[in-house]
Structure 1
Amino acid sequence: MHKDIATPVRTKEILQKHGFSFKKSLGQNFLIDPNILRNITEYGGLTKATGTIEIGPGIGALTEHLARSSKKVLAFEIDQRLLPILEDTLSPYDNVKVIHQDILKADVRDIVEEEFKDIEDIMVVANLPYYVTTPIIIKLLTERLPLRGIVVMLQKEVADRIGAKPGTKEYGSLSIAIQYYTKAETVMVVPKTVFMPQPNVDSAVIRLTLHKKPIVEVKDEEFFFQVTRASFAQRRKTILNNLTSQLPNGKAMKEEILTTLEQLNIDPTRRGETLSIEEFASLSNALYSIITKE
């Protein structure tokens, strides 16, 4: 058994050996607690039949745990300086492939089809770089990758927004987008003391289990998300005002928007944060017919 990478002593040794310094712009905070990494791996429910995608492997602390539990690991790393370190730290594992690409620009579907040809069960498990957490999750979901689920560590406040319920101040278009595609749960809160360097915020691990099909039926996904984003554009404004000012032709269509809200029994003076995903679905479906037939 190899010594875990994720201890303060071993992490320092590796960084010194390779003369590595942290880049703030890449949101690099490395985990130095093997127990937390074991827990994250367990929440992924990985088996020797699982293909695991990791984003931002750093020096390989989580990667080695994933390698021990999965059939194959694909790790996307944007920082070229980490490639030789990963080659060194992950040398004991022959089932890891490091891909030097920005996950946000990569054609993930193509890479997955190529690398996971014979693999049915695919999971994303990662300690995400905090400055791009949301775009990464949204990309993984909207590209309809063949995933069973996603287990990621991110800022606790983003985790709170992802799992938020209507009527709370954390609830927003992100909560709805995630709920549309997945069942979300926060499985663990992680203190900032287990990172090197220490971030300024606490973290949380969320588990997203993908729905077989989205939980509401919408005529047009893009338009549905446009309506939810518009509804939260200015949180103090009513749903009617937000939709009127944010939707294309909204100002010209104010009467039609008002009538639609009334027909759906949605009080036009309500705020976006009080609407459930079901209400947003029926609202976007009704507006879609009106706005697109212009």
Structure 2
Amino acid sequence: MEDTELDVQPVIARREVTNRILKAFHLRADKNLGQNFLVEESVVSRIAAAAELTPQDKVLEIGPGIGTLTQALARTGAQVTCVELDKRLLPVLAETVGSYENVRIVQGDILKTDIPALMGGGPFKVAANLPYYITTPIIMSLLERRLPLERLVVMVQKEVAERMTALPGGRDYGAISVAMQYYTEPRTAFLVKAGSFLPPPKVDSAVLVCRRRPDPPVAVPDEKTFFRIVAAAFSVRRKMLTNSLRHMGGLSGDEVRAWLAAAGIDGTRRAETLSLEEFAALARAYAVR
């Protein structure tokens, strides 16, 4: 390993250090895995700070890459568990962050990982620079599984952050907005320019901070049905609810109108205008129709 011996002390989130690591291991970013390496030290520091970690915390990092964010998380003293899909990066991580006693590196697919077993069953946080092609499936998998997740700090595409934090009436408001706000209190912490990455992606990014709600802010009889209703309402953008909700189990127009009336919602409205509570009212009315 003569050509891969590295000084682990320099901050990885510097362009010259990242370039040196990639060169030493004969690596290039894999576009198929959505790899873009952060090379802006201030951005990495702000992500770690947003996670609000203490030495008593456990934090899960998804897709650590070459250890750029891992290094900053490790320096908080928290117990860091990294799950990396790309086997090529395991020897890199062993070299760059393997000397930290509070870092554990696991190879695997986060969507197939038994996270409670991995994290020891107790509360934990997530901090990650997620692969953009699979951002939403990863986030929703974490939230839908009802894990003891306290806080989620993730780098996503700017437009994805806008959709996840959008409010009713806005052009970005959709099913993912409803889901995120049902499970969490999401906010955009700060924006990140494409030039902060190597190689630079084609879009700007944003760091999303989500505090997990102890309980959903609205009461629904059944979550699966609630989200089926949300999906049906948004299935055809800018259609009146009397039309879009007919996708819920092939209901007739009269049945949909009666359902909307029972929920106290005007059928000429569009899904983009409904609040979380109004979607919950639809779910409650659907359960007793």
- In structure 1, the partner of 2:28 is 21
Q: CA deviation at 1:121?
A: 4.8
- Which runs of structure 1 show a deviation greater than 4 angstroms over 4 or more consecutive aligned residues? none
Deviates more, 1:259-268 or 1:82-91: 259-268
> Counterpart of 2:153 in 1: which secondary structure?
strand
Aligned to 1:185: 187
Say which SS state the counterpart of residue 19 (structure 1) adopts: coil
Post-superposition Cα deviations, 1:230-263, rounded to whole Å, max 9, x if no partner, equal 101111211111110x21232xx43222112123
- Equivalences for residues 1-294 of structure 1 within 5 A: 2-113=9-120, 121-244=123-246, 246-250=247-251, 253-290=252-289
> Which letter does structure 2 place at the counterpart of 1:177?
A
Number of residue equivalences: 282
- TM-score, with normalisation over the residues of structure 2? 0.95
Q: Deviation string for 1:131-168 (max 9, x for gaps)?
A: 11111110111111111110111000000001000011
CA contact (8 A) 1:32 1:194 kept: yes
The letter for the 1-side match of 2:218 is V
Separation in 1, partners of 2:100, 2:41: 17
Residue type of the alignment partner of 1:31? L
The 1-side partners of 2:205 and 2:215 are apart by 29
SS in 2 for 1:204: strand
Which residues of structure 2 form unaligned runs of 5+? 1-7
Percent identity over paired residues = 44
Shift of 1:185: 0.7
CA–CA separation in structure 1 for the residues paired with 2:73 and 2:29: 23
Write the distance in 1 (CA, Å) between the matches of 2:18 and 2:57. 27
SS in 2 for 1:48: coil
Q: Aligned partners of 1:70, 1:143: CA distance in 2, in Å?
A: 27
Q: Unpaired runs of 5+ in structure 1?
A: none
Hey, what's the Cα distance between the residues in 2 that align with 1:54 and 1:144? Answer: 18
Residue 4 of structure 2 corresponds to: none
Q: 8 Å contact 1:122–1:148 — kept in the other structure?
A: yes
Task: Return the TM-score normalized by structure 1.
Answer: 0.93
Deviates more, 1:92-101 or 1:190-199: 92-101
CA distance in 1, matches of 2:274, 2:267: 11
Provide, for residues 204-232 of structure 1, a one-character-per-residue CA deviation record: whole Å limited to 9, x for no partner: 00110011100001100011011001101
